[in-house]
Amino acid sequence: MTEGPRSDVGRWGGNPWQPPTTPSPEPEPEPESRSRRGGRSFWARCCGCCSCGNRTDDDLGPEPSRGRGSRSGSRRPDSRGSDSRQPGSRGRGSGVNATGDGTIREGMLVVTGVDLLSSRSDQNRREHHTDEFEYNELIVRRGQPFHMVLLLSRPYESSDHVALELHIGNNPEVGKGTHVIIPVGKGGSGGWKAQVTKASGQNLNLRVHTSPNAIIGKFQFTVRTRTEAGEFQLPFDPHNEIYILFNPWCPEDIVYVDREDWRQEYVLNESGRIYYGTEAQIGERTWNYGQFDHGVLDACLYILDRRGMPYGGRGDPVSVSRVISAMVNSLDDNGVLIGNWSGDYSRGTNPSAWVGSVEILLSYLRTGYSVPYGQCWVFAGVTTTVLRCLGLATRTVTNFNSAHDTDTSLTMDIYFDENMKPLEHLNHDSVWNFHVWNDCWMKRPDLPSGFDGWQVVDATPQETSSGIFCCGPCSVESIKNGLVYMKYDTPFIFAEVNSDKVYWQRQADGSFKIVYVEEKAIGTLIITKAIGSHMREDVTHIYKHPEGSEAERKAVETAAAHGSKPNVYATRDSAEDVALQVEAQDAVMGQDLTVCVVLTNRGGSLRTVKLHLYLSVTFYTGVTGSVFKESKKEVVLQPGASDRVDMPVAYKEYQPHLVDQGAMLLNVSGHVKENGQVLAKQHTFRLRTPDLSLTLLGAAVVGQECEVQIVFKNPLPVTLTNVVFRLEGSGLQRPKILNVGDIGGNETVTLRQTFVPVRPGPRQLIASLDSPQLSQVHGVIQVDVAPAPGGGSFFSDAGGNSSSGETIPMASRGGA
């Protein structure tokens, strides 16, 4: 969002990750690591470092001048899990000693194995709230201790020196937090420490404390020991890699959330509701976030790697969320999703057809290519998945009547000629019927006090910020009070929720004059899914003071003073005794409808109104098609009287013009003959689409096949061609595409699908239907999954195909 000079320099523009010319469909094996200092192996360098004379008894780390190689950040992680990863060269062999010849001498303390207690049922995963991740590796949250067991060649003695080491990134450095050394039994630095909890025989039980400011990501893990007989280092093993995430349960972490119900909803909930439509006709759809699905965590870390984000900055949620807002869209940096608002989705997926984030993220991880296509709710749904997966409390938020301010005036400006006909070549600002973005919770140590809490992050590419298509994080508190000089991107977001719609009329001398200001037209309702239920929660009050209040007017005018038209409110005139209101019935796709305009004379004198009504279809972004129906009428109003002007619209009139979302825009303009009052109103409404009906056929048990029935009735009198169903649900069904062919006009179809649940508990199974003639059709059913008879979970990577569809015959067909 362009907002003048800034102190930040964007997202590490000098360190981009360049994609391969032709990404392979599967991740490449990790290459053997080579030293940059000649041909010496990593282990030879490690041993030479270990034998140097610069070490003290309290520090088993390397001398500062010696860097360590690690996995390249640009390598695409394998989405198939630990059993299929390519082992790196560092994981080979049984250990090294100080001379580097691999000889194990008597008396050395050899680590023969490590048990990270990483299974979902183990204490670590449960205590760290990571037991839902479909991974076998250890996943912990920073600032919170975890346990491990070292298996030794002999019993541990108090004179033995043991240190744990964690590496991440290229050339890990202690000073950057990418090489962490934790001496056992001694105080570490920055919150890192390891304590012996039990020494029994050849087992050494440790309690390891991580720093609440630790870098997030996947760390390589090793153990080093030193005795009088020599030194030993455990080789790196990909099975011993440790994922570290942000921790909203830790009071010392700046992402800390002090309410457990918030953490359950905004971190752990794998599904949610996304709202769309118009303020008067709110639609809702269930979205499968799937942040714990197998491969999704690797995809989230790959996004950071793909942009080349320095590892040293990955402990800062402000920086991480800003990078994610840029990388979820494909502009600038070949990010996750390609935006498309053209209405032509023949080379990809209609944004309305997606039912969750998993298919999108796994496709990006698998191929390295941006996924077609997304619109605002898809960008926001994927962003929620990524930030929740990384440990940030995040929610998906919908703003109705969301402004897109293109000239930083902080007002929505609409220009008309002398006869109040719109001057489209000047009308660059637009009002979206709805816009979806994200709130994430964190402290803002980079801002003055008072701006912690919810921060807006918007991954939909609208305007650039520091030359990059990203937006946020922006403090909601700064938006509420019009403090548009607070970073990041506050002017643009403020205009989206709290600007005024200003109508300008061209005068005889060519200048423009404000003839009407609509003060309650922007950001009329801001909602999100409620905590612990499927109801919606109105959060408008945290973004805005009450409309019309002194605080709200002060916020708007304070913000406008920092915009490109600081004196806009000094030129307004008003003479308003005729009120205009638009009414629209609940319109249904495929049926006739009627729109109505109500005029009321609130004055004491007769008023004559010349009224013009223009009806056109519109994309939800405010981009309109040509007018397909219009009406002109003169209305005489007695003092205190009201009158209605109806415009009936038949299905055959609007059907040829329909675009995405089935939305229409009614433009109303009028002129009061007696006092020159100008009337202007834009009213958007949508045509409702049917829902899919899902029925579970039998009980759902982990590891056992279950069947669901999907029923759909075509509401249109025309045939739906190339119909595609999508089915997805975390813990139930990997993303699945079903091609069902054509569905006749007003025809009812039924199909059945089987799935095998992999995790117990309440789950959401979500379906969608898409065709060139009809989209925005969804359905959802809650599935309560019982544990497997023997307990545990059943992980399978074959629960669905996210890259190709299968042709499904209909179980039955029926007429109207």
Residue positions annotated with a catalytic role: 376, 435, 458
Say how far residue 321 (Cα) sits from the centre of its chain: 10
Q: What's the rounded Cα separation, in Å, for the pair 183 and 206?
A: 11
Give the three-state DSSP class for 780: strand
Pairing of strands 624-637, 512-518: unpaired
Question: Which residues lie across from 601 on neighbouring strands?
Answer: 578
Cα–Cα distances (Å) from 65 to 168, 172, 729, in that order, read 17, 11, 50
The Cβ-side half-sphere exposure at 112, using a 13 Å CA radius, reads: 10
Say how far residue 770 (Cα) sits from the centre of its chain: 23
Kindly provide the b/e burial profile for residues 186-222, where b requires at least 16 CB atoms within 10 angstroms of the residue's own CB.
Answer: bebeeebbbeeeebeeeebbbebbbbbebbbbbbbbb
Q: What's the rounded Cα separation, in Å, for the pair 221 and 71?
A: 12
> To which H or E segment does residue 303 belong?
helix 296-307
Bond into 373 cis (ω within 30): yes
Q: What's the rounded Cα separation, in Å, for the pair 208 and 188?
A: 10
CA angle 58, 61, 64 (to 5 degrees): 120
Q: DSSP letters along 419-476, please?
A: TS-B-TTT---EEEEEEEEEEEEE--TTS-TT--EEEEE--S-SS-BTTBS----EEH
Give the three-state DSSP class for 370: coil
> To which H or E segment does residue 670 belong?
strand 663-672
Question: Which residues lie across from 111 on neighbouring strands?
Answer: 152
Crossing angle of helices 296-307 and 358-367, in 10° steps, is 50
Contact present, 760 and 753 (Cβ < 8 Å): no
DSSP label of 167: E
Pairing of strands 474-475, 453-457: antiparallel
Q: What's the rounded Cα separation, in Å, for the pair 476 and 480?
A: 6
Residue 38 — φ and ψ, nearest 5°? 75, -155
> To which H or E segment does residue 498 belong?
helix 490-498
Contact present, 679 and 635 (Cβ < 8 Å): no
End-to-end CA distance of the chain: 50
Contact present, 244 and 141 (Cβ < 8 Å): yes
Q: DSSP letters along 55-122, please?
A: -BTTB-SPPTT-------TTSPPPTT-GGGPPPPGGG-SS-B-TTSS----TT---EEEEE---STTS
Q: What's the rounded Cα separation, in Å, for the pair 369 and 337?
A: 9
Counts of helices then strands in the chain (DSSP H, E)? 12, 40
CB atoms closer than 10 angstroms to residue 269:
19
Cα–Cα distances (Å) from 697 to 694, 726, 755, 787, in that order, read 10, 19, 11, 18
The Cβ-side half-sphere exposure at 10, using a 13 Å CA radius, reads: 21
